[in-house]
Chain A
Amino acid sequence: MPLRALGSEQQLTSFVIRRLLYAIPMLILVSFVSFVIINLPPGDYLTTMRQQLESQAGLTREEAMLIAERMAARYGLDRPFMVQYFEWIKGIVTRGDFGYSFHYNRPVSEVLWQRLGWTLLIATTCHMVSVGIGVLVGIFSATHKYSLLDNVFTVLSFLGLSTPNFFLALLIMYYLAFHVKTHVGGLFSTEYVMAPWSWAKFGDFLKHFWVPVFVVGLAGTAQNMRVMRGKLLDVLNSQYVETARAKGLPERVVIFKHAVRNAIQPIIMYLGMSLPFLIQGEVIASIVLNLPPIGPAFHIALVNQDMYLAGSFLLMIAVVLIVGNLLADLLLAWMDPRVRYE
């Protein structure tokens, strides 16, 4: 019982410290796995580059070899696997250098940071929308069980969970382009792409922004709705809800103060767990919709075996997820003291 002797604040602090310490070995392992995965494809970028130099730039075999060797020496590609890995990590930790993107001809960090911002923006927006709408609709469905609207929502949620992201993106693009006849794809209309930020540009941005949010957020909303509905139905059957009703509390108070507070817990637990699904939806949707986030660049990097770029993306996604899980755990510990004892 030593923990019980501590104050609630101290418990929370010790929980936070434990979780933070646990995240460190995870980060190391994740970086290693990312590096292994990007080294899996047979052949490497240098071979491709050499062939390109020979066929397109018209260099001789020797000249192309020389350039490839220089590149290899510069980025340590001629050294053993483990050394390469440590060099990569050293660069990231000490200089924020994620390596060089052969495809974009720029440092990976440049390609990475500008895209990661968009990814996080879309992912967090989707998260908030899907939790907000999902929980509200879930509450409505549970309190109006088997009504017409409940059935409609149930069918819609099944549809939402079953539609492939990329197909949904295609359908919306088709609809917007040929029925509504507006500009689709990207986050801005052509005339605003290079323009500085203004209210008009912001309005144009919103007109484009809802598409990826809808595509990516639909499945999450459906999932949250189903979880919320199921859990709330369970809770509404419990005795303390009956007690609350017997006391003569208004229905609104019974539902929102007694039932929803207990039913919402799995949603918070899923906050961290559903992040991977949002990010993967975002990756696919942005490839189809040709958006600036990491999706298309990740795809290009994989197809071209631009390994530092692909690996760094994988690493960054995983890091975002570790941080997301950490935040969700902390939120849960803050809301539910029982979690801190584990």
Chain B
Amino acid sequence: MSRQVSIPKDKPIVDLKELTEEKLAVGRTLTQRQLIWRRFRRHRLGVLGAVVVLILAVLSIFAPFFAPYDYTKPEYRHAYVPPQRVRFIDSEGNFHWRPFVYGLKYGVDEVTWQRVYVEDPETIYPISFFVRGWEYNLFGLIKSDIHLIGVERPGTLYLLGTDHLGRDLFSRILFGGRVSIFIGLMGATISAAVGSFIGGVSGYFSGKVDSIIQRIVELLQLFPQLPLMMALSAAIPTTWPPLGVFIGVVVVMTLVQWTYLAREVRGKVLSYREADFVLAAKVAGAKDLYIIIQHIIPNCLSHIIVVLTITIPNLILAESSLSFLGLGIQPPMVSWGVLLRNASNLQTIGQYPWIMIPGVVILITILAFNFLGDGLRDAADPYGN
């Protein structure tokens, strides 16, 4: 192997190859955080994932502002309207700077006797920005009725179509994303906290404590995750209010998920326990608690964040599967899984394929989080190759 480096691991070592690559002034040292950031920036898919995740976060946080319609309000006359095309060029070939949609005309399918909607090129509804619409309460603090986009009545702006009650799918996806992403985030954070604590204890004290905790972890991991979550969420009473069910689902996910994080953290703690810098701290007379807080935890932190990022998509996936099967979030609360429940009937998706769009959104979200996690994992270990 190459030369032995005797500098403690938690101090930055300047990688000469990187220095020449980045044309940095000789002698400047970078902190761990800077190193991680630099490595992450070079991971193109990771950056792409981060951007998409950021967009999703903004869209979810300010969902009422971006949603042109109230996601709970049914509009029975507009059931199953297909997605409306946003246009710039009208039927006469004129270009409009302001995008517009055509009005809808009702029609009846001569064969199936079902309601169909036809675009009417005669009526043009230009899309306006920052328009007044339905009232909402952002975070329960800011009362407003301003929305990013909208058209004048009786025109409609169903970007992704409507569901069986005529509710705007685009608005529902925005609000569903709030729940889905928040569940993933919360579940992952609590799992990470519980998992790191138990994993840390397990790794640091080793011996009997370690072996008992590891047996419990092994036992829980013997059950496949999703069926176990299904069985546990079946225990959530259906009489609970939506918020109670929401918390219940998070608890169920945490109960199942923490073991995986505990495993990871324990492994890391075990490897650091024997590391030179811990030995050095011990020889220098540092106490156990000081070593854990000052040396071991900061070293594990980047790792914990990476595992957390990888856990979020798993939980989003789990939530959507649970809700899809009717064992997770219950309407009137919406999540992406709840939205897809309408798409479980083959006949329905055959006639109205756009109600499968929430699945595509789930796919994009999970993909973005996976890219982000992958990029972070590569960056979190700046001294690896």
Contacts and interface: CB of A to CB of B under 8 A. Distances in A.
B83 interface: no
B194 interface: no
Nearest to B239: A42
Contact of B326 (A303, A317, A325): A303
Nearest to B349: A174
B313 interface: yes
Contacts of A259: none
Interface stretch (B95-103, B127-135, B221-229): B221-229
A161 B224 CA distance: 17
A184 B346 CA distance: 10
B262 to A, nearest CB: 16
A279 B224 contact: yes
B226 A164 contact: no
B160 interface: no
B350 A177 contact: yes
Contact of A302 (B45, B231, B359, B366): B231
B350 A178 contact: yes
Interface in A163-181: 163-167, 170-171, 173-174, 177-178
B222 A41 contact: no
A291 interface: no
A158 B320 CA distance: 19
B362 A167 contact: yes
A164 B359 contact: yes
B219 A314 contact: no
B371 interface: yes
Nearest to A165: B321
A41 B234 contact: yes
Nearest to B351: A178
Contact of A162 (B225, B313, B343, B356): B313
Contact of B232 (A40, A161, A287): A40
A41 B363 contact: no
B218 interface: yes
Contacts of A283: 224, 226-227, 230
Q: How large is the interface on A (under 10, 10 to 19, 20 to 34, 35 or more residues)?
A: 35 or more
A29 interface: yes
Contacts of A184: 346
Contact of A174 (B220, B324, B356): B356
B327 interface: yes
B224 A280 contact: yes
B270 interface: no
Contacts of A173: 346
Contacts, number: 128
Nearest to B356: A170
A318 interface: yes
B340 interface: yes
Contact of A26 (B219, B344, B370, B371): B219
A276 B367 CA distance: 22
B321 A302 contact: no
Interface in B187-229: 218-228
A288 interface: yes
B105 to A, nearest CB: 26
Interface centre among B224, B324, B349, B370 (most CB of A within 10 A): B224
Interface string A161-205: 111111100110110011000001100000000000000000000
A277 B224 contact: yes
Nearest to A284: B321
Contacts of B359: 164, 167, 170-171
B321 A166 contact: yes
A42 B371 CA distance: 41
Contacts of B320: 164, 166-167
Interface string B222-260: 111111101110110100000000000000000000000
A318 B230 contact: no
Interface centre among A162, A170, A171 (most CB of B within 10 A): A162
Interface string B327-367: 10000000000001001101001100100100100110011
A29 B326 CA distance: 29
A299 B235 contact: no
Interface stretch (A30-38, A100-108, A136-144): A30-38
A88 interface: no
A161 B327 CA distance: 23
B325 interface: yes
30 contacts: A26-B218, A29-B219, A30-B223, A37-B235, A40-B231, A41-B237, A158-B371, A162-B370, A163-B363, A163-B366, A164-B320, A164-B321, A165-B321, A166-B324, A170-B340, A171-B356, A174-B346, A174-B350, A276-B224, A276-B225, A277-B224, A287-B325, A298-B227, A305-B234, A310-B231, A313-B227, A317-B227, A318-B223, A321-B223, A321-B224
6 cross-chain pairs, A with B, having the tightest CB-CB distances, nearest first: A276-B224, A40-B235, A167-B359, A280-B226, A162-B366, A280-B224
Interface of A: 26, 29-30, 33, 37-38, 40-42, 158-159, 161-167, 170-171, 173-174, 177-178, 184-185, 275-277, 279-280, 283-284, 287-288, 298-299, 302-303, 305, 310, 313-314, 317-318, 321-322, 325
